[in-house]
Amino acid sequence: MKLRAHYTMKVKHIGSVAFFQEDWMELKEALLLAKHIEKKEPLSLLSFEDEKGAMWSIKELEKLKEELQLEPDQLRVYFDASFRKETGASGLGIVVYYTLGEDTYRLRKNHFFQGTTNNEAEYAALYEAVKALKDLGAGRNSVTIKGDSLVVMNQLKGEWPCYDDVHHRWLDRIEAALKELKLTPTYEIIDRKQNAEADQLARQMLADVPIESKLKLEVDGAD
């Protein structure tokens, strides 16, 4: 979940002055900010807006923090596909980084897919990634989705038109799945080097090497 502060302070001879934070912050950072302000001004003057436009008091955020200890947070998804035009066979690669409480984890999976184009396989890879988020119990939070397919990413962002019926069906399916989980997506285009982990998983699937693993990381995951 990402938040930004709304703060109103009372100034002598002026009255109430409102400040609105432009940048987003994580829940942990928001509570640290609240603690800092608590020393100088009443907390009643501070509230936080989430990405869906809902407003939260400090007490509500503290309660939410306790609830989220059992739910995946700071979700980052990497996806890729390796497509064989001659046969239509594809390997799909999925990597998910997330936190659970104070710990950071990485999920790696690959799948086989039979389709008609590389772009369709890319969409299928992302759909499998969203299904993996559901299996992890993710919900209510934000998710950063990273991929190197310009067509797929720009169509997901709404910046490129989608004239292909097959693509439309995948778009609808992915958006419906994210909506069901109440996840707010941010789409980030990355280059192939940054997507190497998902690409490797996709290629391994085409080599008939299925992989599914979950690892607790000692330090924060990929950038």
Q: Is 7 inside a domain boundary?
A: yes
Check pLDDT > 90 for residue 171.
Answer: yes
User: Are 58 and 161 part of one and the same domain?
Assistant: no
Q: Is 81 inside a domain boundary?
A: yes
DSSP assignment of the chain: -EEEEEEEEEETTTEEEEEE--S-EEHHHHHHHHHHHHTTS-GGGEEEEETTS-EE-HHHHHHHHHHHTTS-EEEEEEEEEEE-TTT-EEEEEEEEEEEETTEEEEEEEEEEEE-SSHHHHHHHHHHHHHHHHHHHT--SSEEEEEE--HHHHHHHHTSS----HHHHHHHHHHHHHHHHTT-EEEEEE--TTTTHHHHHHHHHHHTT---EEEEEESS----
pTM of the full structure: 0.78
Q: Is 118 inside a domain boundary?
A: yes
User: Are 116 and 205 part of one and the same domain?
Assistant: yes
User: Are 139 and 53 part of one and the same domain?
Assistant: no
pLDDT band at 160 (very low <50, low <70, confident <90, very high): very high
User: Are 111 and 128 part of one and the same domain?
Assistant: yes
Q: What is the pLDDT of residues 182-219, one digit of tens each?
A: 999 999 999 999 999 999 999 999 999 999 999 999 86
Please give the tally of structural domains in the chain. 2
Q: Is 208 inside a domain boundary?
A: yes
pLDDT band at 220 (very low <50, low <70, confident <90, very high): low
User: Are 39 and 89 part of one and the same domain?
Assistant: no
Q: Could you list the residue range(s) of the whole structural domain that residue 18 is in?
A: 2-68
